[in-house]
Amino acid sequence: MIKVPQLKVGTRLNIVFENEIMQSNAHFMKALVYDIQEGKIIISQTSPALNRNFLNRRIMVSFLAQMDGRNLRFGFPATLIDLINDYKIVSEKNVEALVLQRDKAAEPLEFRMYFRVKPHSQSNISLILNETEEKVSLIDISLGGAKFVSPKNCSFRAADKVKFKLLIGGRVFDLEAKVRNIWAPYDVPEKKNIRYVSIEFEYDDKQREAALGKAILEIERQLLSEGKI
């Protein structure tokens, strides 16, 4: 049985709304633990930020810990119960902070439930659209799906079935996916002609999942070493 580590001040967290965990367009946010007080956890304002409209929402909180020389991810459900506008972190410096109520003890997370990564330029993961034989620009990828920038000459619709080739190192996997969502990057006006697309992989493939899982863990380790997660 794996020993579950204690959450500590300074731990970097990944947060997702509980009802979005299995959705390919889930919003993953990052935060830092400021303090832990009798079951309540005070964390930094997330990126992207949350306001009081999100109070009482249930979330899944996850964090990495090194166990027996391996980086493992643990997580627990919590409820967002308060937003502090002037939390003091150092002398004369106040910041916004969020207060979480832990709903359950931390435990190891199932891989497909927790983390998606943005492949860096040197990663060995590529996604090619069969229709155009073009490599798409990946925003992020997980075992269950991916987000990417839509090629200019393609028009996707929600619920479309689309075929890809997933390249992992020297291996090629045929991939069928369903379009889940399409949206414009509203926060970047100069990209008004660009569309983002999220897809959900349609069929389980144990060999693909094993290869993709290994590649994602390698990216996650690199991000951890660079202090980016």
Q: How would you write the pLDDT of the chain (229 residues) with one tens digit per residue?
A: 567 788 999 998 988 888 876 555 567 788 999 999 887 999 999 877 899 999 999 998 988 887 776 667 788 999 999 999 999 887 678 899 999 999 988 888 754 444 677 887 778 899 999 988 889 999 888 877 888 988 766 778 888 999 999 999 889 999 999 888 888 776 555 556 778 898 888 877 778 878 888 888 777 777 666 666 5
Alpha helix (H) ranges present in the chain?
206-225
Closest-CA residue to 59 (of 76, 72, 40):
76
Instruction: Give the distance, in angstroms, between the CA of residue 60 and the centroid of all CA atoms in the same chain.
Output: 11
- Range(s) of the chain covered by CATH 2.30.110.10: 12-113
Select from 3.30.565.10, 2.30.110.10, 1.20.140.10, 1.10.150.120 the CATH code of 12-113: 2.30.110.10
CA distance 156 to 154: 6
Angle at 110 between CA 106 and CA 114, to 5 degrees: 80
Could you tell me which residues are beta bridge partners of residue 167? 126, 172
CA distance 141 to 145: 6
Burial class (CB in 10 A: 0-12, 13-18, 19+), 85: exposed
CATH class label, 125-225: mainly beta
- Range(s) of the chain covered by CATH 2.40.10.220: 125-225
